């Protein structure tokens, strides 16, 4: 079914506009307080996807003038060494944000290490204190991907109040926090996961459908309500028949696009917003320390 006004939610363009504003803000902060905001991204091992994400984050920092204090550890680094690095950064007055790039190698306890990050520098919003603040609807550092999705919805003046929102995926990084944010914005929220029965029956009721799973083409056209708003968080690398590799989301974009009211592309939708919210959280953390 054709929608009257299918529209792409252009995360790339919005991210660029926010980064331009952040650049001006960072410049102003630097001249007022004598130093730029600082972000430390910690990476362990050589996971190629993680390396790309870390590189993108550091590039984005450089573009807006945020100083990078990243460290790259070998895959066999000890837990104590990573913990010491986190404690040093917790006390470093030039560092406002600390991000531990996940996943970590098996021998490291990521939950334990995430708990070591000073909650006021936890720009990924994964410390229990920040997750608790989110649960209570209090101000604080919030997980970047869900925050980016909410910002995108606001930018396109999509009022979620009273709408049926279905979130597919329940990770602590994406699914759960986004469900809480939608609830806070007065949506009626359903969370689906790998044990959900009759997923299609649920997704077909969704005015707002968020896919955060990590499976290409999980959401097909017959699972989408006509004129729905579809947010595709998934990032999957697939190889086509010609052997060419490309990124796709969790939604069968070509089949679904024309029946939606709004949809995010992959790439160029949620991804650029995630990086931008990380920069915004770092500036937020800096401002809170300095004001
Ligand atoms: P995750 O931790 O692996 O969680 C995946 C979730 O999907 C789990 O809750 C899982 O259910 C659920 N699931 C798996 N198979 C399912 C199925 N057949 N039907 C319904 N639910 C199913 O992944 P994540 O960290 O949340 O990331 C999800 C996706 O988003 C990935 O593709 C990731 O690369 C992408 N991502 C993108 C960004 C961005 O900036 N765009 C940022 C972060 C992540 P169970 O809980 O039952 O196992």
Q: Is 168 in the pocket of ligand 1 (CB under 6 A)?
A: yes
Q: Which residue has the tokens 């913990």?
A: 83
Could you confirm whether 163 is annotated as catalytic? no
Q: From residue 244, how far is each of 51, 107, 239, 247, 268 by CA, in Å?
A: 21, 34, 5, 10, 19
**In the 8-state DSSP scheme, what is residue 187?**
-
Give the CB-side neighbour count of residue 49, counting CA atoms within 13 A: 7
> For residue 94, how far is its CA from the centre of ligand 1 (angstroms)?
34
Q: From residue 125, how far is each of 49, 101, 130 by CA, in Å?
A: 21, 13, 6
**Active-site choice (101, 223, 261, 280):** 101
Q: What is the reported pLDDT for 5?
A: 55
Q: Is 11 in the pocket of ligand 1 (CB under 6 A)?
A: no
Q: Is 264 in the pocket of ligand 1 (CB under 6 A)?
A: no
**Active-site choice (120, 124, 250, 252):** 124
Euclidean distance between CA atoms 141 and 125, whole angstroms:
5
Q: Is 170 in the pocket of ligand 1 (CB under 6 A)?
A: yes
What dihedral do alpha carbons 220, 223, 229, 234 form, nearest 10°? -50
> For residue 171, how far is its CA from the centre of ligand 1 (angstroms)?
6
Euclidean distance between CA atoms 282 and 285, whole angstroms:
5
Q: What is the reported pLDDT for 6?
A: 65
Sequence-ordered list of residues with C-beta below 8 angstroms from that of 276, at least 6 positions apart, any chain: 14, 15, 18, 19, 22, 60, 148
Euclidean distance between CA atoms 214 and 121, whole angstroms:
28
Q: Is 141 in the pocket of ligand 1 (CB under 6 A)?
A: no
pTM of the model: 0.96
Could you confirm whether 244 is annotated as catalytic? no
* pLDDT by 10s per residue, the chain, length 291: 555 556 999 999 999 999 999 999 999 999 999 999 999 999 999 999 999 999 999 999 999 999 999 999 999 999 999 999 999 999 999 999 999 999 999 999 999 999 999 999 999 999 999 999 999 999 999 999 999 999 999 999 999 999 999 999 999 999 999 999 999 999 999 999 999 999 999 999 999 999 999 999 999 999 999 999 999 999 999 998 899 999 999 999 999 999 999 999 999 999 999 999 999 999 999 999 887
Atom number of ligand 1 nearest to Cα 218: 18
DSSP secondary structure string for all residues of 203-240? HTT-SEEEE-S--TT-B-GGGS-TT-EEEE---EEEE-
Could you confirm whether 7 is annotated as catalytic? no
Give the CA angle between residues 269, 173, 231 to the nearest 5°. Answer: 30
pLDDT digits 0-9 by tens, 108-158 = 999 999 999 999 999 999 999 999 999 999 999 999 999 999 999 999 999
What dihedral do alpha carbons 271, 276, 280, 281 form, nearest 10°? 30
CB atoms within 10 A of CB 205: 14
């Amino acid at each position: 079914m054709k929608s009257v006004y299918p529209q792409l939610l252009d995360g790339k363009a919005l991210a660029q506009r926010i980064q331009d504003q952040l650049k001006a803000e960072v410049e102003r902060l630097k001249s007022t307080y004598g130093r730029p905001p600082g972000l430390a991204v910690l990476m362990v091992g050589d996971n190629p996807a993680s390396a790309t994400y870390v590189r993108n984050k550091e590039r984005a920092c450089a573009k807006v003038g945020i100083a990078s204090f990243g460290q790259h550890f070998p895959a066999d680094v000890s837990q104590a060494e990573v913990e010491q690095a986190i404690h040093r950064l917790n006390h470093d007055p030039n560092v406002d944000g600390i991000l531990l790039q996940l996943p970590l190698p098996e021998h490291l306890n990521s939950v334990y290490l995430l708990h070591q990050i000073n909650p006021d520098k936890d720009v990924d919003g994964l410390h229990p204190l920040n997750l608790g603040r989110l649960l209570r609807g209090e101000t604080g550092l919030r997980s970047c991907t869900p925050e980016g999705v909410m910002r995108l919805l606001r930018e396109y003046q999509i009022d979620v109040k009273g709408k049926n929102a279905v979130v597919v995926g329940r990770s602590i990084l994406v699914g759960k926090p986004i469900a809480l944010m939608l609830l806070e914005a007065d949506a009626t929220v359903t969370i689906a996961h790998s044990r959900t029965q009759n997923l299609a029956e649920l997704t077909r009721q969704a005015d707002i459908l968020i896919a955060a799973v990590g499976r290409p083409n999980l959401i097909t056209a017959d699972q989408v309500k006509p004129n729905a708003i579809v947010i595709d968080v998934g990032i999957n690398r697939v190889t086509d028949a010609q052997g060419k590799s490309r990124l796709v989301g969790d939604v069968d974009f070509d089949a679904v696009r024309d029946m939606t009211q709004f949809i995010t592309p992959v790439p160029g939708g949620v991804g650029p917003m995630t990086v931008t919210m990380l920069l915004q959280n770092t500036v937020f953390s800096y401002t809170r320390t300095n004001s």
